[in-house]
Structure 1
């Protein structure tokens, strides 16, 4: 089965998700240990009302794996059981290494019983050894739109 979907953040404020031909929508919920997207709940409720499959993600910043996981969970409690959980692993935090990402994922799993996904670019996927993570967590590799047809853009 193939599903088409999108991930959105505050940059897509006001998006009409009932008009977007997506099977799933994954919303940015938090970043670091202090940022909560002001658009997240409205986007979540819009996607839910449109009958989309749901997900929420945390953008890691490197201020502490467990601290970031705690902050994320404290802000997505109402979505547990409905949405997949995702760690967005890009930018400067990547240099913190696989252990940081695994500590975040492990904490979320230990607290919820839900195995989150990890999202990263193809270059990050191939630049590090993810074997300690891939044994227990799903990997979502970014596909950026370009002029080459790849199906869903």
Structure 2
């Protein structure tokens, strides 16, 4: 047997385009971290954090090379939030500082064979990490919206 509608129920249904009133769509497990959007946001942030740790590890690795003439530094752009690896010349003086991407091959060419190959592998990893950081940061920005 159908239950009678309370007085004024028809007015409420009409205001909601023919559907009964309900709560706005939200995560079913609010504040527990088990909902959809917060999980996406956490995963995106975890990917970005993992890439940042990998960049820091690679930078530390290149600083431990004996007699190094250059190393990787982690550079953070305040305006965009971008974090990327850059090659820098070791030491002090006029030659110390950032090495442009185009000139890095000239620096590699001066190294002995095995060391040159190692630096070339590291350089490929740098390019990959910098690209992945851009993609992960963009995904995080979209997850925040």
- TM norm. shorter chain > 0.5: no
Higher strand share: 1
Higher relative contact order (Cα pairs below 8 Å, separated by 6+ residues): 2
Higher helix share: 2
| TM-score bracket, shorter-length normalisation | under 0.3
TM-score between the two structures when normalised by the length of structure 1: 0.25
